[in-house]
Amino acid sequence: MKAKITLLGLLSFAILGVTQAQDNWKWPEDPQMEARAREYNAAYTDYMKAEQFIAATKPLHWLYQNAPNLNESLYINGVKIYEGAAEEVDDKTKQRVYHDSIFSIYEKREELYENQEKWIENKAYYGYKFYKDDKTKLAEALENYNKAFEIHGTISPNQTAAYFDLVRRHFLLNKGYQPEEVLEIHTKINDLLDKAEESGQDVSTPKSNVEALLVAMELIDCDFIENTLGTKLREDPTNMKMAQQVFQYSLKYKCTSSPAFLSALEIIDNEDPTFSTSQVRAIRYMQNKEYEKAQPILEKALTLAKDDAQKSEVHLDLAKVHANLGRKGAARTAARTAAELNSENAGTAWSLIGGLYMSSTNDCRQGQSRVKDYSIYIAAYDAFRRAGDNSGMSNARSRFPSKEELFTEGYQVGDTLNTGCWIAENVTLATRD
């Protein structure tokens, strides 16, 4: 998938404003130079106010050369002036000179005032704006964002899309990152945006843009998760950060049947279990027919359940585990509990019980009374009826005793009989014919 994403128009970004209200003016000591500096300072500000930016560069350049420490406003206003000058010309070479001058201004400002923390994000933004289409400048542009992270530990949410677009371009054009490094940066950005969202900021636009950029890279699929990220996780099974990455991308890209997903899930569930991680982990074990491993995880999930609905789900899964391990009595108990806790699971639970009864022919046949041996199917029918399972009811009824068998053994339709065996249900006798 290829995506064309316009970021500059979406960035809500506060560039430091034009100012003349600065303290600490340092006029040249020589009277003639001072007079010239005052003249050129007034000239460039007049040109700037009139938006004659190319004209403003000339007196401003003289001040940079002859009175560089006059006032920090030279460097604040200089960015605006050289940006405006670049917009006044069509020649790409001249534009590049003006753009490069902006970065020289920032470097000189840091040399003189050592306050990079005030404007590093502004510089980073200009790096994106001016250099994003120049593959030879992408690493330099990215370094400004890296510096912003180094200084502040974060960047503005509205800068994240520009930053990640530079990452994308550097990865595609220069092979500047390994795929897993791109994903680490993506995770860092998502964490940043999540924190901003928790503080009440609206980050829906940068989140959407960042995700669109990731998708456009066509970087992630199930093979990548399994063979690249999964391999790294297997090499370092204590790497919680990698486990979280595998887990999240597996969910997002629907790769939850992979061994890598299960490995990540096990690490996360062991370290910081939740109801969901334990439940999903147990389900994966059940899918793999590892029922003995599933049981203790389900029992853990039961302790983490927040309401009866969640507890019902766990008991239903426990019923399936017990059933597959041949523990039919325990399976029935768990299924009944599931039905009691949540009526929405009653149908599934009672169908499961009906199935347990239907599969108990060999367990319960004594060979002394066909009516008693077949009474388990009446118990199964009753369970399927409570489930609303018409197919199960029909199947069970077809295996009821016949009228002749009841007559031969001295029973009548409507008599009560206990099935015996592990089922031990009292049933009302009925016939299949």
pLDDT digits (tens, 9 = 90+) for 274-290: 999 999 999 999 999 99
- Asked if pLDDT for residue 3 goes beyond 50, the answer is no
Going by pLDDT thresholds of 50, 70 and 90, the confidence category of residue 24 is confident
Mean pLDDT of 41-61: 97
Helix (H, G, I), strand (E, B) or coil at 271: helix
Q: Is the pLDDT of residue 20 over 80?
A: no
**Is residue 52 scored above 90 in pLDDT?**
yes
Q: What are the pLDDT digits (tens) for 179-224?
A: 999 999 999 999 999 999 999 999 999 999 999 999 999 999 999 9
Q: Give the DSSP letter string of 40-68.
A: HHHHHHHHHHTT-HHHHHHHHHHHHHH-T
Token pair for 169: 């371009």
Which helix (H) or strand (E) segment holds residue 301: the answer is helix 291-304
**Residues 187, 245: Cα–Cα separation, whole Å:** 8
| CATH number of the 285-359 domain | 1.25.40
Between 20-34, 159-173, 381-395, the lowest mean confidence (pLDDT) is in 20-34
* Residues 6+ away with beta carbon under 8 Å from 256: 250, 280, 284
- The share of the chain scoring above pLDDT 90, in percent, equals 93
Residue 23 pLDDT grade (very low, low, confident, very high; cuts 50, 70, 90): low
What is the reported pLDDT for 11?
47
Helix axes 179-198 and 160-174, enclosed angle (nearest 10): 180
Per domain, the residue ranges of the chain are 17-118, 285-359, 368-428
**pLDDT at residue 226 tops 60:** yes
Q: Give the C-alpha separation, 7 to 162, whole Å.
A: 6
The secondary structure of residue 134, as a DSSP letter, is: -
pLDDT at 39 over 90: yes
The whole-angstrom separation of Cα 292 and Cα 18 is: 70
Q: Is the pLDDT of residue 129 over 70?
A: yes
**Cα 275 to Cα 300: distance, rounded to the nearest angstrom:** 8
Q: What is the pLDDT of residues 293-302, one digit of tens each?
A: 999 999 999 9
Q: What is the pLDDT of residue 18?
A: 40
Integer-rounded Cα Rg, in Å, for the chain is 37
pLDDT exceeding 70 applies to what percent of the chain?
Answer: 95
**b/e sequence 366-378, b meaning 16+ C-beta within 10 Å:** eeeeebbbbbbbb
Look at phi and psi of residue 135 and say left if phi exceeds 0, alpha if psi is from -120 to 50, else beta.
Answer: alpha
**Mean pLDDT (whole number) for 145-163:** 97
State the Cα–Cα distance between residues 176 and 143, nearest whole angstrom. 12
Q: What is the mean pLDDT of residues 122-136?
A: 97
Cα separation, 317 vs 299, whole angstroms: 10
